[in-house]
Homo-oligomer: A and B are copies of this chain.
Amino acid sequence: MTQQPVTARRTPLNRDRVLAAAVVLADEAGIESLSMRRLAQELAVVPMAIYKHVANKEELLDGMVDVIVGEIGPALHNPDWKDAVRTRVLSARQALLRHPWARQAIESRTGRTAAVLEYMDDFIGMFLVGGFSVDLTHHAMHALGSRMWGFTQELFDNEAGHKSTADVPPEVQAAMVQDMSQRYPNILQVAMAARHDDGSVVGQGCDDQFEFEFALDLLLDGFERLHGQDWTSERAMRDRG
C-alpha cells in the first residue's frame, strides 16, 4: 500500500496549526532555530503559505506567547489575595518551564496581545478582590514585574553547557576554583555556600524554585505590610521629599 501523505498535506493550514507547530519547533530545536522557512518545511508547506495565517514573524511570536498564556491556570476568585496571586504565579512558572524559549519571547514582545491583556486584567483583579487600593495594586504589579510571568533573571547561566561538571578533570576544576577565589572571592563564597549535591562549582546546585519563591514571598509580604498600613503613593512621595 502507498504511504499516506503527511497529515500536514491533507488538513488545510490554519492559524492554530501554525502556532502549535511553531511552539513544538521552538521547544525541540530552540527559538534560534525558529524561522519562517524552517517552520514551513516542518508543516510541509511552501514558506509563503504561512503568511496567509500570520502577517509576519512578529505576529507569529505574539501568537506563540498567547499559546503559553493559555496554558496558565485561571485566576482564582479568592478573597485571600496572597494565596490567589501566589498560586497563579507558580502556575505561570510551570507553563514557562515547559517552554524554555517563552521567557525570551515574552521579554521581547513590545505590544500586548488580547490574551496578554486579559491575563493582566485577571491578575490585577486578584488584588482588587483582595481589598487592595487601585493605587497599591498598580505599584505592586510593577514590583512583581517579570515574576508575574513566572520568571526571574538568572544570576548565572544554568542552561546547556555545564550540565555535567563530571567530564571536567578534577585538577582543572580545582584550578578554576583557585582562580575564581582570587579574582571573585565574594562570588565564590556565595557559590560555595549554596548547597550542591554534586560538588560542582558556580551556578549549580542552587534551587531555582526556592530562589523564585523566596523573592516572590518577600514581595508579597511587603505588599501585605503596605496594604495593612493603608499605604498610598502620594504619602510615599511626600515622605521621600
Contact = CB atoms under 8 A, between A and B. Distances in A.
A153 interface: yes
Nearest to A110: B157
A25 interface: no
Interface stretch (A35-43, A89-97, A211-219): A211-219
Contact of A138 (B124, B141, B206, B223): B206
Contact of A146 (B122, B153, B218): B153
Contacts of A219: 215, 218-219, 222
A102 B68 CA distance: 27
A176 interface: no
A186 B125 contact: yes
A160 to B, nearest CB: 9
A122 B125 CA distance: 40
Nearest to A237: B210
B190 A124 contact: yes
Nearest to A185: B121
A145 interface: yes
B194 A153 contact: no
A206 B128 CA distance: 19
B112 A157 contact: yes
A193 B185 CA distance: 47
B153 A190 contact: no
Interface string A121-141: 110110010000011011101
A22 B143 CA distance: 32
Given A104-B108, A121-B187, A233-B210, A194 B138 contact: yes
9 contacts: A107-B153, A110-B159, A112-B156, A117-B187, A120-B155, A124-B189, A125-B186, A134-B189, A138-B206
Given A121-B183, A214-B236, 20 more contacts: A110-B161, A112-B156, A120-B155, A121-B184, A125-B186, A128-B186, A128-B189, A134-B189, A137-B190, A138-B194, A141-B190, A142-B211, A142-B214, A145-B155, A146-B152, A148-B153, A218-B226, A219-B219, A219-B222, A221-B222
